[in-house]
Chain A
Amino acid sequence: MSLKIDVVRKIYARQGDTPERVLFEGLSLELADGEVCALVGPSGTGKTSLLQMVAGLDEDFTGTIEGRPPDIGYLFQTPRLFPWRTARQNLELVLPGRVERAGELLAEVGLAGSEDVYPQRLSLGMARRVALARALAVEPKLLLLDEPFASLDTATSKGMQDLVSAQLQRSRPTTLLVTHHWHEAAALADRIVVIDGSPARIVENRAVLRPRAAE
């Protein structure tokens, strides 16, 4: 089932000295089943807010999100691992009844041997891989990735990118990827959507053409 995002109006309420702001007005986007869509745009245009709305974490808007599946994987901008639980325990929490998968998933993201480490002792890159493993652990039908490669050094970012790419090809969830970088979007997505302005609107929506793989 495809994911239909139809935001009639989303307002950021006035907070202190920051005046009320219309974030989105008449923004529509449809993702086909299994499609990877990259959402690109400058900071402050509401990309993360849109992910939150799609995830059902923010319902304070007029409009509809159709086709949101119950199993969602969400890689937040910060890893949001529970610091009082080890890497393995963080995964086990989303795997009730099949905790043995936790170790396998950590191995898949290259963290075999770090299962019993607490998040505070993991580097940002490692913590993000644990968070990615957690997002994939629920076998999501919808995967939301919020700047998964931000603040990583080049090598770590490339490693993480390869990892995400491999996982997307393996399980093909419908994916919404937020990024600032065109090259990341082009490397991973089937389609790139650019949003800009205030209120933000879609200024570009184009498919990514890929060379046909050699038979």
Chain B
Amino acid sequence: MRTVDLRSGAGWQGIVSILLFICLWHISALWAGSRLFPGPVSVLSSLLQEIEEGVLPYHLAITLARVALSFVIAMVTGTALGIVLGRFRGLDRWLHPWLIILLNVPAVVIIILTYVWLGLVETALLVAVAANKIPNVAVTLREGARALDKDFAEVAQIYRFRPAVTVREVIIPQLAPYLLAAGRNGLALIWKIVLVVELLGRSNGVGFQLQSYFQLFDVTRIIAYAAAFVLCVLLIELALFAPLERRIERWRR
């Protein structure tokens, strides 16, 4: 049975490398001495100030909500589509070229077109993000559906598993590594796209703030917002994906 290797292998070395990077950044910023290349201390101070004023939590919460909603839409739709394409070769032959096209259309083109056609509204944002992400999820899950082991399906048939038991005990465990891979990649891609969509056509969210600070050339705050967001994504990785991965992988030797 084919599986996807998901072991991330991050340990203390990862933390040390990040600390070394921060030290290097600090020294370089001191050496550069420019407003356009702020060091970690001033970024941290701006970050704290934005948090204190409540501006960053407000915009961060809006962006995270958009990321969550887009993520759910893209994962559910992409998973369903991927499984159908993986199981029905005829349909796959019809839709495969479209998946390749959608995978290669630049994200920004889809974003602009959705804003033009649907207007600068929340729905347009969700559609644009989902349209960018669904093909990735579908392609990953299509591979998972193709790799479903017929031997296990036969066991389920012989022992007359109810359909719900077959899905829970036979299909989902085989698709789990693919779902996890699609979820991880999905989160990484979606938050980047959400930021661009906000930057181009919303009046709130981290993307909007980045655009505002870009116009002011306030690099310190741009980095502060980016750092806050990366920190959130890291927390999601640690709190959600890493335990999920351990749970999925626990039976492996």
Contacts and interface: CB of A to CB of B under 8 A. Distances in A.
Nearest to B162: A96
B122 interface: no
Contact of B158 (A72, A82, A121): A72
B100 interface: no
B170 A94 contact: no
B147 to A, nearest CB: 14
B161 A93 contact: yes
Interface in A16-75: 55-57, 70, 72, 74
Interface string B230-253: 000000000000000000000111
B5 to A, nearest CB: 15
A68 to B, nearest CB: 11
Given A74-B158, A120-B251, A121-B253, A82 B151 contact: no
B163 interface: no
Q: Is the interface of B mostly helix, strand, loop or mixed?
A: helix
A82 B152 contact: yes
B173 A84 contact: yes
Interface in B99-153: 151-152
B253 A93 contact: no
B24 to A, nearest CB: 43
Interface residues of A, number: 20
Nearest to B173: A84
B159 A82 contact: no
A158 interface: no
A184 B165 CA distance: 36
Interface of B: 151-152, 154-155, 157-161, 165, 169-170, 173, 251-253
Interface of A: 55-57, 70, 72, 74, 76, 78, 80, 82-85, 93-94, 118, 120-121, 134, 138
What 4 A-B pairs come out closest when comparing CB atoms? A84-B173, A118-B251, A94-B159, A84-B251
11 contacts: A56-B157, A57-B154, A76-B151, A76-B154, A80-B151, A80-B155, A82-B155, A93-B161, A93-B169, A118-B251, A120-B251
